[in-house]
Structure 1
Amino acid sequence: MNKRWIVIGMTCLSLLFVQLGQASAAVANRIQAAGQQMYETVLSSTDTALSGVVASRQFFFQTESYWNVGEVKINLDYKASPLTRGEQSSVTLVMNGTKFHSFRPAVSDAVKQRLTVTVPSELIVKGSNTLTVEGYIVTNLENQICVPVEKRDNWLQLRQTSSVEVSYRSEALTGSINDFNRHFVGRDTIKASLGAIAVPSKSEPAELEAAVHALSGFAKANSLKEKAIPMHTWDTAALKEKQAIVAIGLYDHLPSDVRSAIGNEDLSSTALIQVITLDRQPTLVVTSQNPDVLVKAGRLLANQEMVGQLDANRKLVDANTNVDTPDVTVNRNVTLTETGDRLTGWMHQEKTYFVSLPANRSIADASKVSLDLRYAKNLDFHRSLVTVLINNTPIGSKKLTSELANGDTLSLPIPKNLEVTGNFSVTVAFDLELENVTCVRPQDQMPWAYITKDSLLQLNTKDKTDLLFNNYPNPFLRDGGYNQVAVVMPQVKDSYTYLALSNLFNLLGQYAEGNTGDVKFYEDSEAAKALKERNIIAIGSYHNNKIFQDPKLKLYFQYDSKGDGFISNEKMSIDTDYGKRMGTLQLLDSPYEAGHGLLAVTGASSEYYYLASKLLASENTKWKVYGDGVATDKDGNIHAYRFKKQTEQEAASVLDDVLERGDVLGFMVAAVLVMLLVLVALILMIRKYRKKRGAGDETESK
């Protein structure tokens, strides 16, 4: 009997070991499979057309510095003109200036054709890569000799589903602060929502201030601007799914396992920034026992240039540590290209330059584009010209001439009605036409045009002060820094509250150019005196944030008498139940001091004011918001209105424009001085004439 049980036991054990071995092998396979990852980048958010016989378009994609790139595939979805001559037409793919593949475009009635091609790995660089699609689409009949080459039936449509697939292995974390930072803001981490900022569940103002400064730096470095970096509390279950966490808090408020990992250190006058690992979760801890120094450590993380220099696993910050970014200056003369740019090829060729401008400033009168050019002499000068576009809107053109080919200039004023605010693009487009080209096949390097390094923008700017979402983030940012911002938080803060806060500062952080601006957090019980001279962001509902109960605050979307939901106003009829299921954004004049603004992010519950905050989380959603009052719901309905009455331009604004224009002010001062000199000269001449006349009268009387 005993032998029988021994045999049965041995059999069971052997089966168990087999199963364990199979399970281990499966786990090993899964880990190995997870090592090789794939990241897909869509080339364009819209369909792109290549029109004409010869045309090209550039697309960009990024590889991270910590990726070991393996295979790169181009998935090109296209549709060619049904009239395309397949044997004469071709499309060439160019990676970072090197041609690597050509094909004959297929002609079909299908919505699109797909071409998948592998890019040679040696052509891929770390960082930004440029894919150029060059099309040569011929629709002429073979027996025709000389026919017009530029026809509207020569086109190739590149679909928005075209993409680049990058297979890679991610390098392991080295443990340094800068390495953690580059992984935390990496495209793969952000796209998969694998990173988060963690704060204590009952956060104090200094902890939230440090957190939003750090978040601003990460948001600025985040290349996927449409994806927000979330903020959670330590007790949130969502943190368990993250692969990189930034933990910010006063030392006594940190979880015990975090305090144990960083050790027992005197942080009464210093802040510690240290990389640790908790339960296989890489974590960047930012802590101090001193609230002011903790905020300074948060400002250091907002200085991404400095963070990139921290190659150790820990950094101590004290009151004397300089963490400030350089002051943001608005240059009046902006150089378009440092070394000069050459454009080659037939027909339409263009070069685009991106110009940074603080989000609160717009282009004012007398701004202009001044180009210094050279171009080939073999052009058809009856049809060749250069055009300048601002944000893809043409502002003027000039015909090219043979006499000025070796040194031409073009100066164009920027029209005021463009209303350019914040960052913008300048495109210089050449139409390089050749004579008798219907019978000649042009070469790749001819014709050509050259934009010299002496080309520049002469910018005059002014503040955008109207409290409208069209001008957002005004008034909360000024010249690249936070502009005396006060954030009034609700009494009860749940996960939606922290997500709403992170939504707002993800977009504000993208606009922020420096870390020296001022952000303060207040409880809703703070006296109105504390909110004077500040631009206010109020988050919450009628019941959990007393600021919305203040009779001085004149909301456009007002709550009912019980504060349970919104009621109808002059712009929108609101059902009683619907008013309890909507969130609002309202940009108002501050009730505490004139000249300042208040952004109300409010709804009947936290779920709905979080819903409203998502409209100001990225540029992808901000374009849906305009006017000064916006309502939204779970179904994605957005109702935007302007409640403030439109006023005429005040006369004082003319004086403001003159005072901002240094050249005009200098001219006026010089003109006044000249007039004074002329007046003094006239007075002296009159006095001299009178003296001579008086002397003459005395002689005659004698």
Structure 2
Amino acid sequence: MKRLTIMIILLSLLLTMLIQPVSAANYGGVPQSEARTAPQTFVTNFSDHSMKGLFSTTEQTFWIAKDWDVESVLLHLEYRATQLADTQLSSLTVAINETYFYSLRPADNSGNRHGIDIYVPLESLQQGYNNIRIDGYMRTQNALPCVDDVSEANWLDIFKESNLSVRFDKNAFTTSIDSFYNRFFEVDALRYGESAFVISDADNPAELNAALLGISGVSNQTIYPDGYFPILTFSDPAANLPLNRIVIAGYDQLPDNYRSQADQNGINDEDALLVLINEGSGTNTLIITAKNDVALINAGRMLGNPALMNQLQSTTKLLGKTEDIKTPVYEAETYISFAGSEGTYYKGPFHQVKEFAINYPSNRSLSNASEFYLNYRYSENLDFDRSLMTVYINDIPVGSRKLSQHMAGGDEATIPIPTDIDIGGSFQVKVTFDLEIKDLWCSLRQGDMPWAYLTPSTMLKINSVASQDLIFENYPAPFVTDYSYNAVSLVVPDQLDGETANLLAKMFRVMGRYTKGNTGEIAVLYPEEMNEAALYANIIAVGTYANNSFIKSNNDKLYFQLSEDGSSFLSNEKLVIDPAYGKTLGSAQLLDSLYSKPGRASLMVVAPDQTGLVAIGNNLGEMKNLGRLSGDAALADANGKVLTYRFKAPKNPTIAVAQQIAVSQEAQIFLVVSIMVLILLAVGLVMVVRKNGIEIRKGGWRK
């Protein structure tokens, strides 16, 4: 009987193992612990896309994080095909990272929307970016050979409701500072609010300063723009909710349990200490503390040095006060390679598109002598009368080049960028190939499919000028210039409330995405702490008339001023404001230096109460809304309405022209040569005069 029972148990265990789902794919390269998080799903949405032509393609990228154990990836595709589609010949084919894995016929040609769910094979996934490619072949009914190729009736719409759902789990706990650091700003932690900064309730500006440096430092490493890192306090019940917490507090302000951790790990009077602890229930906390403000701020700055943070493979770090933690200073590039280290491959006939994001400082715009250099090759079986390559900037065509058979093995093009394209900050480049083949529909055998390839040496040469206008189109300049904070003094209320802290967290999350590394200076001040250095800085003031006396004392300098009691915005020459409506508004105003310091500016983020601060914060603190702000003054209400105005006159354009000449290499050479010629002529003239004994006397030249 016992033997039978044992056999039944063994068989049950074996059966359980056999019916278990396939083990999740581990892309982290690190053995996973048995303590797991609950499964999560990260969704990446498509945008609406219209696929036109006999052959067409659309692509969507999605992200696989380092510490995700992926259980499944589901592609939900919503599409609508032309009513003329021949459903027996037309098809859709799906590839993951250039590997085809699924094909289907359009459901019907009724013109209705259809949806289908397709599981993506896990073995084709890779850590980091993954690419879904959808190839369409839309043949219409009763189409004539050689005519259907160019028909406008060949179309297929992919809708924005299409998405990719990645289901995953991960380790409940991290075992080193570097693993926690990367998890803290991962896409799922940001989107689902799993990460936050926590400071004390002591209103210590050094803690806020360190937290804002930390937010900026991790923000410039994030993949997607959505989400932010809240700044919470110990007394806030919400501080216990995030699974990943960075606690930044002076030693004396730490709760007893955190202070004992600091004592156990050898904190001293001079240095900062980082300690990672696991608090149960999947909560990881990195404690950053010091007994002096300078060390604390320095530790916050270190969060913006990923190369250094990824070396911290233990749970503690004692940061010496003389330890160098700054990253290199990044400057605006002149030459930017954008085709990737392995180049970019185009496959298939007709119109093929690849898009590239170019990150560039927000305070700079393109000037004269900027150009594309493209190096490429393509197949030799093209119709070279109709095949070409075209370059776009932000969907504006810049130039095209015809493809030719004798250059197919190695072609190149230099395309100047027209000066009428107004670009400031980051922008998008699109390179398209129209790969036409003679009698494609007529030929029974295609031979090699047409292809094109952009080599890694493809690049963009940028000459740029620093923007002169103090307007939101150039924001966050001048507070961020050439990827660094530009001597910023942040003036905050004496008592930091939750709404203001939330606004600051959002603002510096956005500003941080325009930085690289951790250079530049931020100083957090109370109104009464305005010193000589602060007067010469770029000033950002945040708060209400009641809680920030700096705003109150400079109310008369605002474009949109507050009433005497600070309860409402007043009308001005640009806008008549109803007093009741004025109470609901928040405002962001870009002013020249309040202390007449050359090259400096002030950003006043002002509201009668917290409702208005939240309203304007939803625009300054979200990348998707930042583009709604223009001019030098913006008003926002609680319903999401934004009003923008310009009060300052545009800067003198001759200044920009002079700067363009200064940065143009061709102009520099011309000026140097011209000056040398003038010098030679002057020297020659002097020598001729002396040789011939000529001198100037009253009445003219005399010998």
Task: Judge same fold: TM > 0.5, yes or no.
Answer: yes
Residue number among 486, 495, 499 corresponding to 1:496 in the alignment: 499
Residue 306 of structure 1 aligns with which residue? 308
Matches within 5 A, 1:154-169: 154-169=154-169
Amino acid at match of 1:671: S
Matches within 5 A, 1:231-242: 231-242=231-242
Residue 453 of structure 2 aligns with which residue? 450
**Relative to 1, partners in 2 of residues 1:110 and 1:40: Cα closer, same or farther, differing over 3 Å?**
farther
* C-alpha distance after superposition, 1:334-354 (max 9, x if no partner): 233444433232111233333
Matches within 5 A, 1:71-110: 71-107=72-108, 109=110
**Relative to 1, partners in 2 of residues 1:299 and 1:444: Cα closer, same or farther, differing over 3 Å?**
farther
Amino acid at match of 1:238: A
Amino acid at match of 1:315: K
**Relative to 1, partners in 2 of residues 1:301 and 1:366: Cα closer, same or farther, differing over 3 Å?**
same
**Relative to 1, partners in 2 of residues 1:575 and 1:379: Cα closer, same or farther, differing over 3 Å?**
same
Deviates more, 1:162-171 or 1:504-513: 162-171
Residue 16 of structure 1 aligns with which residue? none
Residue number among 632, 640, 643 corresponding to 2:644 in the alignment: 640
CA distance in 1 between counterparts of 2:95 and 2:651 reads: 53
The count of residues paired between Structure 1 and Structure 2 equals 657
Residue 346 of structure 2 aligns with which residue? 343
Name the SS for the 1:410 alignment partner: strand
Residue 629 of structure 1 aligns with which residue? 633
Name the SS for the 1:665 alignment partner: helix
Amino acid at match of 1:393: I
Residue number among 420, 431, 434 corresponding to 1:417 in the alignment: 420
Name the SS for the 1:559 alignment partner: coil
CA distance in 1 between counterparts of 2:689 and 2:407 reads: 54
* C-alpha distance after superposition, 1:90-123 (max 9, x if no partner): 0000001100000001125465211101111111
Work out whether 1:321 is the aligned partner of 2:323: yes
CA distance in 2 between counterparts of 1:350 and 1:357 reads: 22
**Relative to 1, partners in 2 of residues 1:472 and 1:145: Cα closer, same or farther, differing over 3 Å?**
closer
**Relative to 1, partners in 2 of residues 1:101 and 1:490: Cα closer, same or farther, differing over 3 Å?**
same
**Contact 1:465–1:474 under 8 Å retained in 2:** no
**Contact 1:269–1:293 under 8 Å retained in 2:** yes
CA distance in 2 between counterparts of 1:111 and 1:42 reads: 24
Residue 695 of structure 1 aligns with which residue? none
Work out whether 1:433 is the aligned partner of 2:436: yes
Residue 525 of structure 1 aligns with which residue? 528
Q: CA deviation at 1:66?
A: 0.8
Amino acid at match of 1:213: L
Deviates more, 1:159-168 or 1:593-602: 593-602
Amino acid at match of 2:277: I
Work out whether 1:612 is the aligned partner of 2:613: no
Amino acid at match of 1:122: E
Residue 215 of structure 2 aligns with which residue? 215
Q: CA deviation at 1:453?
A: 3.5
Name the SS for the 1:511 alignment partner: coil
Q: CA deviation at 1:402?
A: 2.9
Deviates more, 1:366-375 or 1:129-138: 366-375
CA distance in 2 between counterparts of 1:296 and 1:34 reads: 34
**Relative to 1, partners in 2 of residues 1:341 and 1:492: Cα closer, same or farther, differing over 3 Å?**
closer
Residue number among 292, 295, 302 corresponding to 1:293 in the alignment: 295
Deviates more, 1:550-559 or 1:152-161: 550-559
* C-alpha distance after superposition, 1:9-66 (max 9, x if no partner): xxxxxxxxxxxxxxxxxxxxxxx9984523232332x311111110111100111111
Q: CA deviation at 1:147?
A: 3.0
CA distance in 1 between counterparts of 2:159 and 2:150 reads: 23
Residue number among 351, 356, 366 corresponding to 1:353 in the alignment: 356
**Contact 2:369–2:664 under 8 Å retained in 1:** no
Q: CA deviation at 1:407?
A: 3.6
* C-alpha distance after superposition, 1:173-217 (max 9, x if no partner): 232011111221122222111211001112322111111111112
Name the SS for the 2:385 alignment partner: coil
Residue number among 598, 602, 619 corresponding to 1:598 in the alignment: 602
* C-alpha distance after superposition, 1:417-437 (max 9, x if no partner): 222222223222111111122
**Contact 1:262–1:276 under 8 Å retained in 2:** no
* C-alpha distance after superposition, 1:304-346 (max 9, x if no partner): 2321221111111112211111120223222334444332321
Amino acid at match of 1:189: A
Q: CA deviation at 1:224?
A: 3.1
**Contact 2:199–2:207 under 8 Å retained in 1:** yes
Amino acid at match of 1:605: D
Work out whether 1:147 is the aligned partner of 2:150: no
Name the SS for the 2:118 alignment partner: strand
CA distance in 2 between counterparts of 1:229 and 1:270 reads: 26
**Contact 2:198–2:234 under 8 Å retained in 1:** yes
CA distance in 2 between counterparts of 1:515 and 1:445 reads: 50
**Contact 1:552–1:591 under 8 Å retained in 2:** no
**Relative to 1, partners in 2 of residues 1:395 and 1:128: Cα closer, same or farther, differing over 3 Å?**
same
Q: What TM-score comes out, normalization by structure 2 length?
A: 0.89
**Relative to 1, partners in 2 of residues 1:690 and 1:556: Cα closer, same or farther, differing over 3 Å?**
closer
Q: CA deviation at 1:476?
A: 0.5
Residue 205 of structure 1 aligns with which residue? 205
Residue 247 of structure 1 aligns with which residue? 247
CA distance in 1 between counterparts of 2:135 and 2:655 reads: 53
Q: CA deviation at 1:687?
A: 5.6
Residue 466 of structure 2 aligns with which residue? 463
When Rg is computed on C-alpha atoms for both structures, the one with the higher figure is 1
Q: CA deviation at 1:438?
A: 3.4
**Relative to 1, partners in 2 of residues 1:131 and 1:444: Cα closer, same or farther, differing over 3 Å?**
farther
> How much is the aligned-residue C-alpha RMSD, in angstroms?
2.2
Q: CA deviation at 1:232?
A: 0.9
Identity of aligned residues (%): 32
Q: CA deviation at 1:575?
A: 1.5
Q: What TM-score comes out, normalization by structure 1 length?
A: 0.89
Q: CA deviation at 1:539?
A: 0.7
* C-alpha distance after superposition, 1:488-547 (max 9, x if no partner): 001232111110110110101111112110000111123464432211110111111111
CA distance in 2 between counterparts of 1:408 and 1:40 reads: 42
CA distance in 2 between counterparts of 1:498 and 1:391 reads: 35
Amino acid at match of 2:646: R
CA distance in 2 between counterparts of 1:652 and 1:626 reads: 22
Deviates more, 1:429-438 or 1:285-294: 429-438
**Relative to 1, partners in 2 of residues 1:611 and 1:652: Cα closer, same or farther, differing over 3 Å?**
closer
Q: CA deviation at 1:553?
A: 4.8
Residue 41 of structure 2 aligns with which residue? 39
CA distance in 1 between counterparts of 2:107 and 2:411 reads: 43
CA distance in 1 between counterparts of 2:443 and 2:329 reads: 55
**Contact 2:77–2:116 under 8 Å retained in 1:** yes
Q: CA deviation at 1:663?
A: 4.3
**Contact 2:36–2:172 under 8 Å retained in 1:** no
Deviates more, 1:295-304 or 1:260-269: 260-269
Matches within 5 A, 1:509-588: 509-527=512-530, 529-551=532-554, 553-588=556-591
Amino acid at match of 1:331: E
Residue 171 of structure 2 aligns with which residue? 171
**Contact 1:140–1:147 under 8 Å retained in 2:** no
CA distance in 2 between counterparts of 1:233 and 1:111 reads: 52
Residue 116 of structure 1 aligns with which residue? 117
Deviates more, 1:529-538 or 1:328-337: 328-337
Work out whether 1:400 is the aligned partner of 2:403: yes
Name the SS for the 1:465 alignment partner: coil
Residue number among 326, 331, 334 corresponding to 1:332 in the alignment: 334
* C-alpha distance after superposition, 1:558-594 (max 9, x if no partner): 1112211111122222221221121111111121133
Residue 510 of structure 2 aligns with which residue? 507
Amino acid at match of 2:320: D
Residue number among 484, 488, 504 corresponding to 2:487 in the alignment: 484
* C-alpha distance after superposition, 1:457-508 (max 9, x if no partner): 2210111131111110011011111000000001232111110110110101
**Relative to 1, partners in 2 of residues 1:174 and 1:40: Cα closer, same or farther, differing over 3 Å?**
closer
CA distance in 1 between counterparts of 2:187 and 2:459 reads: 33
* C-alpha distance after superposition, 1:154-189 (max 9, x if no partner): 111111011111122212323201111122112222
**Relative to 1, partners in 2 of residues 1:388 and 1:37: Cα closer, same or farther, differing over 3 Å?**
same
Q: CA deviation at 1:271?
A: 0.3
**Relative to 1, partners in 2 of residues 1:393 and 1:441: Cα closer, same or farther, differing over 3 Å?**
farther
